[in-house]
Structure 1
Amino acid sequence: MKISIELSLYPLAEEQYKTEIWAFIKRLRGVEGLQVITNGMSTQVFGDYDLAVNHVMAEIKHVHKTTGAAVFVCKFINGDRSQVEAES
């Protein structure tokens, strides 16, 4: 089963918030089997359901453990919507 996840990360840090966002994205891009697409508003993750959900949740936990505070806005939809996004 495939899944599509859209995430937005908002670190509540005054300094280096962009560094934390890009580190989060880089870690997800390093996972073999995931397709990670970014734009100015969010990051989309496409792949096998268990692989994607497990890695996204692990990265959310990592950010919460290593930053003072951060907000995540997430959308999860079953199926691989990467082709639908590309056609739009």
Structure 2
Amino acid sequence: MNISVELTFSPLQNDFEEHIINFIKKLRASELTILENPLSTQVFGDYETVMKILQAEIKVAFELMDKGLLYMKIVKSDRSEYEPNF
């Protein structure tokens, strides 16, 4: 089963950019399809694979910061090819 995940990672500390960049670089190095925009990072792939990678990378990211938020939306389908038709 394929899924699409939208992530918004918000470390609540002064050096937030470093944490966001490191998190995105780890996701880029994975086998997942990644799309980025200024507000979020989108991850696409097989449910088991995506969740296994996200579980590991979120844990590492949280361990490296004092406080932070991670908003996650999960859609049951691969939306990586979505193009608006309006």
Alpha-carbon RMSD: 0.9
The residue aligned with 2:66 is 68
Moved over 2 A (4+): none
Match of 2:77 in 1: 79
Partner of 1:47: 45
Task: Give the alignment's TM-score, normalised by structure 2.
Answer: 0.92
Residue equivalent to 1:27? 26
Partner letter of residue 56 of structure 1? L
Secondary structure of the corresponding residue to residue 9 of structure 2 = strand
Report SS of the residue matched to 2:3.
strand
Unaligned segments of structure 1, at least 5 residues: none
Name stretches of at least 5 consecutive residues in structure 2 with no aligned partner. none
TM-score (normalised: structure 1): 0.90
Q: How many residues align?
A: 84
